[in-house]
Structure 1
Amino acid sequence: MRLFLTVAVALSVSACGTVTRGSNEDVTFNSEPPGAKVTTSTGLVCAATPCTFPISRKQEFIATFEMPGHHPQQIEVKTEVSGGGAAGMAGNVVAGGLIGVAVDASTGASYDHTPNPVFARMVPIRPERQPVAPSRQRRSGAPGV
């Protein structure tokens, strides 16, 4: 009986997405032009793009890109079940791995971040055009003007 339980647990864990994919995913941040500062709503900070952080697969967040002379950009990063995550979940079910299903659900191992890479096109701030005041020029030949 113990041998059966040991084999059942081993099968459920071996099919587990947490083991094969991990509970974190590398998320890359890029901007055009490069060099933007990125701050995430989870508290991560990148001094200059491009950069990459390992982020929990179940963590959704907002990335704010900032660059002097450009408008800030905010990009929402969501999570969704990936093809690999769905295959891992199916493997859990086939192998009878209720434990693996529970572990994957709690760690978010079956999810991927989207978009990844996170990309922001930085839009330059254009100074507002100041209205041109009519110039007061002297006309030749006009007295006192």
Structure 2
Amino acid sequence: MRISLLAIVAGTISLGACATVTRGTTEQLTFDSDPPAAMRTSTGLTCPTTPCTLEVNRKSEFVATFSKEGYKSQDVMVQTRVAGSGAAGFAGNVLIGGLIGMGVDAATGSTLEHYPNPVSANLEPLTLRGKPGKRPVRGPVKEEAPPTS
């Protein structure tokens, strides 16, 4: 009797936090841009060039900044939301893991996924001033007045 009760308790504890067990606390996130560019996140992760894939904490929301010389930098906000499979794992706690499992899943962020995924950017070339061959200059370009007759 004691052994079967111990087995039930051990099984319940091991299955607690279902989403944490089935999905983990990190996620693979892909970053891509046209043209290929460097990418850094507000959390400190970097890619020297895109496309690249990084492992990101499921709870982290951040800004991904794509940059390349001669192009305008572009920021993309990456947010989190409850994933369908994360919600199912979280709901499994009602049957097996109880409040402890629910607490663990909520604390680890295992029920979440990032969006957008993949994270994409289309970089715009900087405007050139003057003649072709000049280096790109940031800022607005002054238009010349049409010749007067």
TM-score, normalising length from structure 2? 0.80
SS in 2 for 1:75: strand
Residue of structure 2 equivalent to 1:100: 101
1:131 aligns with 2:132: no
The match for 1:9 is: 13
Aligned ranges 1:1-145 → 2 under 5 Å: 1-13=5-17, 16-33=18-35, 35-127=36-128, 128=141, 131=144
Structure 1 regions of 5+ residues with no counterpart?
A: 135-145
1:97 is paired with a residue of what secondary structure? helix
Distance change >3 Å, CA 96–CA 132, structure 1 → 2: closer
* Deviation for aligned residue 1:6: 1.7
**Which residue identity lines up with residue 100 of structure 2 in the other structure?**
I
Shift of 1:132: 7.4
State the Cα distance separating 1:97 from its structure 2 match.
2.9
Deviation at 1:114, TM superposition (A): 0.7
Q: RMSD between aligned alpha carbons?
A: 1.8
- Give percent identity, aligned residues only: 47
TM-superposition CA deviations, 1:34-65 (whole Å, max 9, x none): x2110100011111000011000001000000
Amino acid at match of 1:27: L
Give TM-score scaled by structure 1 length.
Answer: 0.82
Shift of the 96–26 alpha-carbon distance from structure 1 to 2, 3 Å rule, reads closer
Runs of 4 or more, structure 1, over 4 Å off, are none
Whether the 8 Å CA contact 2:38–2:67 is kept in 1: the answer is: yes
Question: Which structure has the larger Rg?
Answer: 1
